[in-house]
A and B are shown apart, each in its own frame.
Chain A
Amino acid sequence: MTSAVPGTLAAFLCFFSLTVNVPGALAQEATGEQPTATAKPEKKLTEIKIGYLRAYAPQLALSVLDVPPRDEGVAGGNVAIADNNTTGSFLGQKFSLDVTEVKPDADVVPAFQDMIAKGDRYVVADLSARQLLSIADLARDNGVLIFNAGATDDSLREEECRANIFHTIPTRSMLADGLAQYLIWKQWRRWVLIYGSHERDQLFAEALRRAATRFGGEIVGEKEFKDTGTARRTDSGVVQIQRQMPVFTQDLPEHDVLLVADESEVFGTYVPFRTWIPRPVAGTAGLTPSAWHPASEQWGGTQIQNRFAKANGRRMVSKDMAAWTAVRILGEAATRTQGADPRKMADFIRSDDFSIAAFKGQKLTLRKWNQQLRQPIFLGDGRSVVSTSPQEGFLHQVSELDTLGVDEPETKCVLK
């Protein structure tokens, strides 16, 4: 909690200093009225409280550089709160973010009930799919809108979709499609796939298989890498990996690209440069698809990157961007509806007028059939952005962004 709390405080302090210094909001209110000698009544502040519910426990990673920051996601939410408050200072709106943490496998219902009791009607969630579903109906019954900024599960947008849940983080299928389009554009069509033994690894592997079928890639061979509990990052581990990974990949058929599906951080980072034959690696290692890249400077990205780094002392990652976008969507809804009425705000977000700018080169809109935010996918390695998808030539009758992920004709979602 230590790093997240000062960030929240800083955002609040920043807001207060701004409101005090901006007479514009008051001046605007007075437009059209004759100024009187008596002191003007203070403009009433509309408060918009946003809850943030996250599952957190320290995580291991194969590279120390990949250990998720303590305030991953929350930091992005706080930057958006500060942004909303700068805008809010002209309109008499004040936003705040209240973070609640639970353990990754915990029952989140009690924590969520506490948030409802505190009056939270907007909640940014960074939870597992299971946890998110456990509070979905409770949220609906209490008029709470949830913004999913953490779970990439397609099921949450498909058979398990909900009318009161919006998704700012892309799905596994959007990520896999973004990557596949690029490989096809490169004419690297023959792929082999190594996937981990955990559920989320297999879900991403399935998304990659789907992408291959969709865009004309061919998965010529597959292999599962079983998690046998090897020691990460130890000296002996590195030595063993250098010997074992070539052997593990030796019997794979001839291919252009080796795809890795290892969300669990068991072996993926160890694949590049250690394969039997020299081939590029992509997926959760090597060339990786993501909602944001810490080095993206295109489309005004420099501004949000600078703002984020200044506030948090680190670079901005995908979950930070998903949370920033969620909180900014609420800010935009409050600005455009000139108030904090949850129903009006929800109606605006679902309307044709809604769009949000998030430093991705075009306006982002919602897929109305499942409330997933359309967005380009970044493709990068650890250092730089290699490309962004959709790639040139992947056409669509509605939006080229809908070439990424499950499209309307194939959706299983019935919003309820």
Chain B
Amino acid sequence: MHRGAYALAILATGFMTDPASAYMAYVSNEKDNTMSVVDTATMQVVKTVNVGQRPRGITISHDGKHVYLCASDDDSIEVIDTATLEIVDTLPSGPDPELFVLSPDGKTLYVANEDDNLVTVIDIEGKKVLAEIPVGVEPEGMGISPDGKTMVNTSETTNMAHFIDTSSHEITDNVLVDARPRFVEFTPDGKQAWVSAEIGGTVSVIDNQTREVVQKITFEIAGLRAESIQPVGVRITADGKKAYVALGPANRVAVVNTETYEVEKYVLVGQRVWQLAFTPDQKTIISTNGVSNDITFIDVATDEPVQSVTVGALPWGVVVSPN
């Protein structure tokens, strides 16, 4: 009996040695309207859930009970119960929601409405729109400071990072960055916002005090033409020391030292890597590789790819359960 349970446990955890790291990763598959649920310990898809049309942005409530998913072509945000994996609710999102960010208190969603040049502020509990903030053309990237006071949206054709005061819902600063800004990530201390520019091929580091670009990070990979290096997703470790930048059709994730801004490594993953998510224990970071229809598990300690797992068609975003 005991031996059997032990064997099962080993089987279940695969070759990742820490059995505590059994989280669920939720992946939005843009092209086949599904969400893949992946056990991060076994690195296997445990369920594929049918969701709304063109699922892209994905996040999870702080208690891990609900996944929020942008169903872009349905003009709504779906709420999925993580226990039953059923869609239990929808939130009003404004047209074409692409990407969103959850406030640190877990009560508010800030949504980029790509077709309407708006950021929509949604009260999750009351299921109502609190504000619509006009921003630049094709809003996409959404980031929020750890104190919840500053939200940043990027607009892909205007090429700006719009700093928005979350109490007044007004833009306080517009910072020009390089072409097609896609993603915003604050450093854990809230002092910097990192903004990727897909076509510009750079990451701009913006000082949250002065609202000025203090550093522009560039990438270079031997044998690859510069145009194929297209930074999208950015994630920074909880200790603030390393940043991971997904480089799109370069098929690599760059590991950046946040102190020197030097790229320390390029990790080869699948094709057209866009978004990233850490497991809560920060031991693993997962990338979505749209064109190869898979996700890659990267070991954060060694920055080596561990395994790639096939999910649905054109995986876009990923989020990992907090517990």
A residues bordering B, Cβ < 8 Å? 18, 21-25, 27-28, 31, 83, 86-87, 89-91, 300, 303, 306-307, 310, 328, 332, 335-336, 355-357, 361-363, 399-400
Q: A88 CA to B323 CA in the complex, in Å? A: 45
B179 touches A18 (CB 8 A): no
Task: Name the CB-closest residue of A to B201.
Answer: A363
A306 touches B170 (CB 8 A): no
Tally of contacts, chain A with chain B, CB under 8 A: 92
Per a CB cutoff under 8 Å, which of A24, A300, A306, A362 touches B162?
Answer: A24
Per a CB cutoff under 8 Å, which of B170, B179, B225 touches A357?
Answer: B179
Q: A361 CA to B170 CA in the complex, in Å? A: 32
Main secondary structure of the interface of B (DSSP, over half): loop
Q: A87 CA to B181 CA in the complex, in Å? A: 14
Q: A332 CA to B178 CA in the complex, in Å? A: 11
Given that A24-B170, A83-B137, A300-B138 are known contacts, is A355 also in contact with B200, CB under 8 Å in the complex?
yes
B contact residues around A22 at 8 Å (CB): 134, 171
Of B171, B173, B199, B230, most buried by chain A (CB within 10 Å of CB) is: B199
Q: A328 CA to B156 CA in the complex, in Å? A: 13
The total of chain B residues at the interface (CB under 8 A) is 32
A357 touches B176 (CB 8 A): no
B residues bordering A, Cβ < 8 Å? 96, 114-115, 117, 134, 136-138, 155-160, 162, 170-174, 176, 179-180, 199-201, 211, 225, 227-228, 230, 249
Q: List 21 A-B contacts (CB under 8 A).
A: A21-B134, A23-B170, A24-B170, A24-B173, A27-B173, A83-B157, A86-B134, A87-B155, A90-B136, A300-B180, A303-B156, A303-B157, A336-B176, A355-B199, A356-B179, A357-B159, A361-B249, A362-B228, A363-B199, A363-B227, A399-B225
B114 touches A303 (CB 8 A): yes
Of A21, A31, A86, A328, most buried by chain B (CB within 10 Å of CB) is: A86
Q: A328 CA to B171 CA in the complex, in Å? A: 23
B contact residues around A362 at 8 Å (CB): 199, 227-228, 230
Can you add 12 more A-B contacts, CB < 8 Å, to A21-B134, A22-B134, A306-B115?
A24-B173, A31-B173, A83-B158, A86-B117, A87-B137, A89-B134, A303-B114, A307-B115, A335-B158, A357-B159, A362-B199, A362-B230
B225 touches A400 (CB 8 A): yes
Shortest distance in angstroms between A316's beta carbon and chain B's nearest beta carbon? 15
Given that A300-B156, A400-B225 are known contacts, is A363 also in contact with B137, CB under 8 Å in the complex?
no
Given that A307-B115, A357-B199, A363-B199 are known contacts, is A87 also in contact with B160, CB under 8 Å in the complex?
yes
B contact residues around A18 at 8 Å (CB): 117, 134
Q: A90 CA to B175 CA in the complex, in Å? A: 10
B contact residues around A21 at 8 Å (CB): 134
Q: A358 CA to B230 CA in the complex, in Å? A: 14
Q: A22 CA to B159 CA in the complex, in Å? A: 17
Q: A21 CA to B138 CA in the complex, in Å? A: 17
B contact residues around A361 at 8 Å (CB): 227, 249
A contact residues around B156 at 8 Å (CB): 300, 303, 357
A31 touches B172 (CB 8 A): yes
Q: A332 CA to B180 CA in the complex, in Å? A: 12
B171 touches A87 (CB 8 A): no
Shortest distance in angstroms between A82's beta carbon and chain B's nearest beta carbon? 8
Shortest distance in angstroms between A268's beta carbon and chain B's nearest beta carbon? 33
A28 touches B158 (CB 8 A): no
Shortest distance in angstroms between B151's beta carbon and chain A's nearest beta carbon? 13
Given that A28-B173, A355-B179 are known contacts, is A86 also in contact with B199, CB under 8 Å in the complex?
no
B contact residues around A306 at 8 Å (CB): 96, 115
Per a CB cutoff under 8 Å, which of A28, A355, A399 touches B172?
Answer: A28
Given that A86-B158, A303-B114, A357-B157 are known contacts, is A28 also in contact with B174, CB under 8 Å in the complex?
yes
Of B157, B200, B227, most buried by chain A (CB within 10 Å of CB) is: B157
A contact residues around B173 at 8 Å (CB): 24, 27-28, 31
